[in-house]
Structure 1
Amino acid sequence: MADAGIELPEGYPPAGLYVGAVRVGNHLHIGGHGPVRNDGSMVTGKVGDGVDLQAAQAAARLTGLQMLHTVREELGSLDAVDRVVKVFGMVNCAPGFNNTPAVIDGCSQLFLDVFGDDGVHTRAAVGMAELPFDICVEVEALFLLRDEN
């Protein structure tokens, strides 16, 4: 990842009574993550009303980086990941904004950049009227782990 200029953020604690990841067999379920910067501030607002597509894609990428931080913390290394299975992306969007797949592409492209062909995944990208703390995106994911982990 460092060769590709990708650095993981510091991470942040869950905002409620849950954990960021749960391992079940050879699957790692990553709970909802948002676009939190290293200084603790969040990327907020509604896509299509104050947040443009490029900013939303960058927020989705940041969210993916936060998720990868959680994976590394949970497993010790991203090398334990065999493939990305599924991504579920939620976009805080203004009425009439329906290009949610393009927003979540920011996260999906990151996973492709990091894992190559093993980053190809199934996905949903849905629009929401509101998200916690007014964040502009929230993403969950499912990872398949290598057998030796």
Structure 2
Amino acid sequence: MNGKVEAQLASLGIELPEAPNPVANYVPHLIAGNLLFVSGQISKAGDGTITKGRLGADLGVAEGQAAARVCALNILSQAKAALGSLDRIEKLVKITGFVNATPEFTDHPQVVNGASDLLVEVLGDAGRHTRAAVGVSSLPVGCAVEVDAIFLIGN
């Protein structure tokens, strides 16, 4: 099912990857009432490559932003798998971005902008959201960034 959000993706030259399968004992997405919760998505691209490393040591802000963008694409893939059409998204309520970083690194918000910017680019005003951007000492498989999301869904 193609709609206006899918058309926006195409106009931006973006092809969504397949929704990644869970790697542990959790579900990738869950609908509760009119909310869609998308589990944390790591910086694993559609071709299987993973952006790994720590911001402030191995990676710079631009590389972190690119990794966060990949997380956002995976979030949209999970949302499409859950809803059938991204046009059912009424509003992106919140994202939480986790940045694998050194203790001295303080540009977490700029890194997570990679996800925020993409989501607003694709969803327009419905993509404007609340968020948290936090630094952590490690992430699964050594990835650079992980992002989760909560959406308000319509019909």
Could you say which residue in structure 2 is the equivalent of 1:35? Answer: 43
Unaligned runs of 5+ in 2: 1-8
Say yes or no: does 1:62 pair with 2:70: yes
When the two chains are superposed, the root-mean-square deviation of aligned CA atoms in Å is: 0.8
CA deviations over 1:14-71 (Å, ceiling 9, x no partner): 1101111000011000111101122222111001111111010000000000110010
Secondary structure of 1:41's aligned partner: coil
Maintained 8 Å contact 2:19/2:81:
no
Could you say which residue in structure 1 is the equivalent of 2:129? Answer: 121
Instruction: Report how many aligned residue pairs link the two structures.
Output: 147
Distance 2:120 2:79 in 1: 16
Any residues of structure 2 matched to 1:1-149 within 5 Å, and which? Answer: 1-146=9-154, 148=155
Distance 1:67 1:38 in 2: 12
- 4+ residue runs over 3 A deviation: none
Query: What TM-score, normalized to structure 2?
Result: 0.92
Distance 1:37 1:127 in 2: 21
Secondary structure of 1:96's aligned partner: coil
